[in-house]
Chain A
Amino acid sequence: MAIGSRRVFVGAHYGLRDWLVQRVTALVLIAFVLLVAGGLALARRLDYEAWAGIFAPVPMKLVTVLAVIALCYHAWIGVRDIWMDYIKPAGLRLALHVGTIVWLLYCLVWCIQILWSV
C-alpha cells in the first residue's frame, strides 16, 4: 500500500493490544487493592485471624489468582518496555525477556501454592 510516494510500513499490531492489556490489568489491580483494603477496614484489626480470614474463602482465592495473573501480564509489558528501551545487545535482551517470563510464571505458581495453603 502506498500513499503518495511513500510506502507505509505496518507493524505486527501487538503494540495496541499490549497498551490496552496494560490498562485493563491496571484497573483489575486497583480494584484488588481496594478490595483488600476494604477487607482490612472491615476487620478493624490486623492479626493472623483477620488477615488469613480475608484469603480463606475460595471466591477470594480465585479473585486473588485473577489479580496475580493481571499483575504478571502487567509487569511483563512494563518490564519488557524497560529492557527494550535500555538494553541494546540482542542476546542480552532476549535472555532478559526469557528470564522475565519464566520468573513471572514461577511467581504465579508460587502465589497459587501460598493461597491454597491457608
Chain B
Amino acid sequence: MTKPHPSPRASRSQIRNIRVDQLRNYRLPLPGVVSILHRISGLLLFLFLPLLLWLFDLSLSSESSFDRLVQLCQGWLSRLVLLGLGWALLHHLCAGVRFLLLDLHLGVDRIAALRSSVAVLAVSVSLTFVFALFVFGVL
C-alpha cells in the first residue's frame, strides 16, 4: 500500500483579497502606499477636471477674468483645494515616473523598490511644499 499523500491543494495556503474591515490591521508596505495614493490622486484629478477647466477658462479668457481668478485664489478654501489638487498632480506625476521605470525593469528588486517609493514621497511632498509657498503668496 502506498503512503497517502496530502493533496497539494489542501497544503497550499489560500490567498484571498482582504476585506474592508481587515484594512486597519493590514500594514501596507511603502510601495503599496505610493500605489494606492497614485490611484486616489488620479481619481481626484478626474473628479476635479471640471473645476480645473473652469480655472483654465478664467485664466485665458481675458485680462479681467485672469484678475478674477487671482482674486478667487486668495480665499482659504480655494487655497486648500488648490493645494490638494497640486499635491494630487505632483504625486501622480512622480509615482507615474516610478511606474514607467519599473515597467522598464529598473529598480524591481525589493530594496530598490522601497527606496524609490521613499524618493517618490519625498520629492512629491517637497514639490507640494514649494507649490504651497506659491499658493500662499510667499514666493
Task: Name A residues whose Cβ lies closer than 8 Å to a Cβ of B.
Answer: 23, 26-27, 30, 33, 47-48, 51-52, 55, 75, 78-79, 82, 103, 107, 110-111, 114-115, 117-118
Contacts and interface: CB of A to CB of B under 8 A. Distances in A.
Contact of A30 (B57, B62, B97): B97
A103 B63 CA distance: 29
A51 B103 contact: no
Interface residues of B, number: 22
Contacts, number: 52
Contacts of B66: 47-48, 51-52
11 contacts: A30-B96, A48-B63, A48-B66, A48-B67, A51-B66, A55-B60, A79-B42, A82-B43, A103-B49, A114-B56, A115-B60
Contacts of A78: 39, 42-43, 46
B61 interface: yes
A52 B66 CA distance: 10
A51 B46 contact: no
Given A23-B100, A27-B100, A33 B93 contact: yes
